[in-house]
Amino acid sequence: MAAERVLQVFAAVAVLVFLVTGIVYLYLGRWTVTHQDFWLIYEAYFNHSWLESAVLKYYNHSLFFPTLLRLADLHFFHGDQEPLFFVGLALLFITASLLLIPIWRDKTVSLTAKSMSTLVMIVGNFWMGRSVITASGGFNCENSLVMAGGALAFLFLPKMSASGTGLLQPMLIVIFAGLVASFSFGAGVAIWPTLLFLGWCLRLPRYCIGLLIAAGVGTAVVYVLLPEAFSIPDSLPTTPTARVAFLWLFRLVGNPVSNAVFAWWPKEPYVYLVAYPSLATFTGVIGLALLAAAVVPQIIRRDIEKSSLEFTGLALVLFNILALLLVLAGRSGSKSISAAALPRYFFWSALFWTGLCLVGIARVDAKPRLRWIVYIVVLALPLMVFPAHRKNALYQRRVRTAAEYDAIGLINRVQLDEQQIGTLFFKGWPVEFYQAVEQMRLRRLDMFAAGFQDWIGLNQANVFGRRRKPEGLKGECTVAALVQCDNGAPAA
């Protein structure tokens, strides 16, 4: 008993440390300016009504609910990315909280198992390996809305086994949550096959299964019929071979583990992920084998309702592996195999491993010898992933600094080079990028909202229209490089 109390204290301390560092790292590395996909998305908003903007698909994804958030941000905050970051962070908290509720309600597992599960959940949600998504307000709103919708559906799905009037409320909540997940990002449609399998394992009534099937089919039909805002041609529109498809899947699953391992080496983890992909392939195979071990017994027994901890873990595993399969279907034919190592996919694969850990904790809790092994591994988890946690945070901080530097250049009409454009947008798309920049400038949005671009060419007396007092500055400055403005004039 005393030993378990020590484990609980260590788990609580680890949860606090990882949660605090995760929040601080996210804040310091957050995107503060418009970036990547959102230049073209915002430009599409400018050419359509708010309703048209909400129902359109972007890059083959329906972003209905995130679009409502972004349109509100454009209207009330002039495209400032900070409010979106805090909304995304709140959604991250909501997701983790919704997933923890059934774990702490489970009366079939010990307090130590719940403490270890909480640690796994916090590490899985706030690990900075996912920061490519979670440090971006726009991307985090999309992906965390999917996960929040999924977590809400998982919370109320077991209650659909009730009869009479007690069925209506959970049924409506599950359908609503499924729609939120489906129309927040493309991977969200994986919620329907996940709910169907879980409902079958829960032995839900046939009419509930039929309702889930109807909702899933209806969602798919609507998804296909939604018009595209714009089309981006694939660079290599080919059909992948079976070997390439399996390699993609193995590496999508295994890359978070490889990232955590390679972070102990001196260089950036991504360099090793591309140079040494065999570790990701190997760990991906192990992950899929553990997936089979988690799912097959439930196909036979169908008694998942006994432990809400195991139910939550299995739900995470299924939902995120199906999301990765959707990534595989959409990407493997148009990208090189090295693209499977892109950190954007860690958002899903990290939660896949989180779910496997939860299933493992639930199944060994009643086995004294095995559970101590699992508990020690779980306690070591924050230490094992912390180098990757820190390195990804430092990388994200550098990206933020570079993006803000380039945004200042845009305010001053400096012509950015290809690498600078690649930081804010995509390399090889300068025409589309500057078209979107001019739209933002004309509407005085984001970095142009404060009006700093208006002082260019004015004398000192007219700067800011006398709205600000002059300030004296002391220091040294040097010219690092000469660049070219968009009118051809040189600029320091």
Per-residue H/E/C for the chain: CHHHHHHHHHHHHHHHHHHHHHHHHHHHCCCCCCCCCHHHHHHHHHCCCHHHHHHCEECCEECHHHHHHHHHHHHHHCCCHHHHHHHHHHHHHHHHHHHHHHHHHCCCCCHHHHHHHHHHHHHHHHCHHHHHHHCCHHHHHHHHHHHHHHHHHHHHHHHHHCCHHHHHHHHHHHHHHHHHHHCCCHHHHHHHHHHHHHHHHCCCCHHHHHHHHHHHHHHHHHHHHCCECCCCCCCCCCCCCHHHHHHHHHHHHHHHHHHHHHCCCCCCHHHHHHHCCHHHHHHHHHHHHHHHHHHHHHHHHCCHHHCHHHHHHHHHHHHHHHHHHHHHHHHCCCCCHHHHHCHHHHHHHHHHHHHHHHHHHHHHCCCHHHHHHHHHHHHHHHHHHHHHHHHHHHHHHHHHHHHHHHHHHHHCCEECCHHHHHHHCCCCCHHHHHHHHHHHHHCCCHHHCCCHHHHCCCCHHHHHHHCCCCCCCCCCCCCCCCEEECCCCEEC
Within a domain: 489: no
| Domain total of the chain | 1
In a domain, 473, yes or no: no
Give the model's pLDDT for residue 275.
Answer: 64
Q: Tell me what pLDDT residue 24 has.
A: 97
Gap between the Cα atoms of 404 and 452, Å rounded: 14
Q: Which residues of the chain have pLDDT under 70?
A: 162-166, 231-240, 267-275, 332-338, 428, 457-470, 481, 483-488, 491-492
Q: What is the model's pLDDT at position 162?
A: 66
Instruction: Indicate whether 459 belongs to any domain.
Output: no
- Host domain of residue 215: 2-402
Spatial distance between the Cα atoms of 109 and 374, rounded to a whole number of angstroms: 14
Report the pLDDT value the prediction gives residue 484, as an integer from 0 to 100. 67
pTM of this prediction?
0.90
Classify residue 480: in a domain, yes or no.
no
Let me know the angle formed at the C-alpha of 131 by 126 and 134, rounded to the nearest 5 degrees: 75
Task: Give which of 32, 36, 58, 35 is closest to 45, Cα–Cα.
Answer: 58
Is residue 437 a part of any domain in this protein?
Answer: no
Q: 221 in a domain, yes or no?
A: yes
The pLDDT of residue 444: 93
Q: Is 211 a domain residue? A: yes
Contact 403, 424 (CB under 8 A): yes
Residue 466 lies in a domain: no
